[in-house]
Amino acid sequence: ACVAGALPMTSAFAQKKIVLGFAQVGAESEWRTANTESIKSAAQEAGIDLKFSDAQQKQENQIKAIRSYIAQKVDVIAFSPVVETGFENVLREAKAAKIPVVLTDRSVKVKDDSLYVTFMGSDFVEEGRKAGRWLVENQKGNKGPVNIVELQGTVGSAPAIDRKKGFEEIIKADPKFKIIRSQTGDFTRAKGKEVMEAFLKAEGKNINVLFAHNDDMAIGAIQAIEEAGMKPAKDITIISIDAVKGAFEAMMAGKLNVSVECSPLLGPQLMSAVKDIVAGKPVPKRIITKEGIFPMETAKAEFPSRKY
Ligand code: GZL
């Protein structure tokens, strides 16, 4: 025990390392891989003891991982909720165990927002609006109809719900824009390709635009478009979100028209929030990631400085 005026902590009482339990969504996309890398390297950098789990995009696995962190009495729990609902009970268990929870990347719909300390991540509605605004500008000379097919992200996830909302909010201003098919590709290349093949079979040359909720699905769809003998980014204008390396490569190859940035590099912000929480300092309820938009023409110049 320390007595008043005691000497500063000696090595014998080395500062106990903060233990952070992180329940990751999975490894479904380039974005997710870069996000995991950012979290692991930032924890290392910050001297934080990271316990990490991959839920393979299954909610029950994320809940199991959070319960195990509660049992291990970690100092802080952080996770990116694979879908918006169904986490209330386990968040109440964390609160009862007095373990603070940080939401990164995706958020949850809960009545009691004291169940988490802060949510740090992008504004997905704005990402959808950026995609819509680019399309309105790109098609301004075209009297229409402009038939759009949409590859949605994981059903029930915040990015899928909000990107769709933002995109539709913008294009509804002009009736020439019509979403003729919309289906989930679960944020993966494989599923994106499979669903685009079905869209092409059903609609073929009737498709003018593809709006993909992430680059991985867009890259899968590009393969399907080429296999159908059509030219991606020319016969079908392609809009995507994330701006990962694969998107820049596709844009430099002239196969993708634009990618809206969604930064996965949340590691450093997460670690500083964790340290503040453990130190009892206040943390803003919402921390929004700053991000831009990259049309094909800017890809070559931007690519060398990309960090993910
Ligand atoms: C967005 C993130 C999404 C990415 C996808 O912040 O939740 O999940 O857009 C990833 O690539 O799978």
Å from CA of 62 to ligand 1 middle:
16
Question: Which residues of the chain have a pLDDT value below 50?
Answer: 1-2
- Tokens representing 235 are 């016969």
**CA-CA-CA-CA torsion sign (135, 138, 143, 149):** negative
> Beta-carbon neighbour count of residue 21 at 10 Å?
26
What one-character DSSP code corresponds to residue 236?
B
40-63: per-residue pLDDT in tens?
999 999 999 999 999 999 999 999
Please report the ipTM that was assigned to this predicted complex. 0.96
Instruction: Decide whether any atom of ligand 1 lies within 6 Å of the 107 Cβ.
Output: no
Q: Give 133: exposed, middle or buried? Use CB within 10 Å, 0-12, 13-18, 19+.
A: middle
Instruction: Decide whether any atom of ligand 1 lies within 6 Å of the 105 Cβ.
Output: yes
Q: For ligand 1, what atom is nearest to the CA of residue 264? A: 6
pTM for this model (two decimals):
0.93
